[in-house]
């Protein structure tokens, strides 16, 4: 349960929130919210019956009572919630879950991939990214987004590199691009070189 990523996720929750932890798996996020009384109510859901049983066993072990639901995204959630945590999934799965009338006002998202598509689609779906935090864990950066239903159109650069304002994360993105430049076809090199220049500027801006 000692995950920096989960700590950042739960730091976005407020006392007034009624939270649905979508794809709870091990259930640690829900357990931390409940044990530390960080929100008004927490529910946990899973698409996988096995994962849900795993979460229930962990709830029992940790002496917390959390109502659970077997559900694909929001489809079979019969209770009210105003905040959803959707973490540890790919962008396409997250976007499929959000493409539902039950999608709440506030969402906390931690995708595993394709952040450009995620940011762009969130804006198109009517969500504003209020904060973005990049957390280094298990040799990987996880980007955690706090969003509310409000108009926003990020610029192309903000969509590409994010709005974390974290120079270490920008440097990481720069290093990743530099690494693949020799392997990509000539037609794609110029775009990567342009992105490297943008990232250098972001890092040197202060």
Ligand X SMILES: C[S@@+](CC[C@H](N)C(=O)[O-])C[C@H]1O[C@@H](n2cnc3c(N)ncnc32)[C@H](O)[C@@H]1O
Q: Footprint of ligand X on this chain (CB under 6 A)? A: 22-25, 45-48, 51, 72-73, 87-89, 93, 97, 110
CB of 14 to ligand X, least distance (A): 19
> Which residues are within 8 A (CB) of 121 and not within 5 positions of it... i.e. 6 or more apart?
91, 95
Nearest to 83 by CA among 142, 12, 154: 12
Our measurement of the distance from residue 99's CA atom to the centroid of its chain's CA atoms, rounded to an integer in Å, reads 16
User: In this complex, which beta carbon is closest to ligand X, that of residue 10 or of residue 174?
Assistant: 10
CB of 171 to ligand X, least distance (A): 25
Strand boundaries in the chain, DSSP class E: 18-22, 41-46, 67-70, 83-89, 106-111, 127-137, 140-149
- Rounded Cα gap, residues 142 and 185, in angstroms: 28
CB of 21 to ligand X, least distance (A): 7
CB of 127 to ligand X, least distance (A): 18
User: In this complex, which beta carbon is closest to ligand X, that of residue 44 or of residue 174?
Assistant: 44
HSE at residue 134, side-chain half, CA atoms within 13 A, is 18
User: In this complex, which beta carbon is closest to ligand X, that of residue 39 or of residue 202?
Assistant: 39
User: In this complex, which beta carbon is closest to ligand X, that of residue 135 or of residue 199?
Assistant: 135
């Amino acid at each position: 349960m000692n995950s920096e990523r989960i700590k950042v996720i739960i730091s976005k929750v407020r006392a007034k929130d009624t939270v649905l932890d979508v794809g709870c798996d091990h259930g640690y996020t829900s357990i931390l919210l409940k044990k530390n009384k960080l929100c008004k109510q927490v529910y946990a859901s899973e698409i996988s019956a096995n994962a849900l049983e795993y979460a229930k066993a962990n709830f029992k072990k940790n002496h917390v009572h959390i109502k659970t639901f077997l559900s694909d995204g929001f489809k079979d959630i019969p209770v009210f919630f105003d905040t959803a945590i959707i973490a540890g999934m790919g962008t396409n799965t997250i976007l499929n879950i959000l493409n539902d009338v039950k999608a709440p006002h506030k969402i906390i998202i931690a995708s595993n991939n394709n952040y450009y598509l995620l940011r762009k689609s969130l804006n198109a779906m009517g969500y504003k990214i209020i904060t973005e935090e990049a957390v280094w864990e298990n040799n990987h950066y996880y980007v955690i987004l706090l969003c509310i239903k409000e108009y926003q159109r990020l610029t192309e650069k903000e969509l590409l590199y994010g709005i974390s304002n974290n120079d270490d994360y920008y440097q990481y993105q720069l290093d990743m691009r530099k690494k693949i430049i020799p392997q990509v076809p000539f037609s794609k090199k110029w775009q990567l070189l342009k992105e490297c220049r943008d990232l250098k500027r972001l890092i040197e801006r202060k």
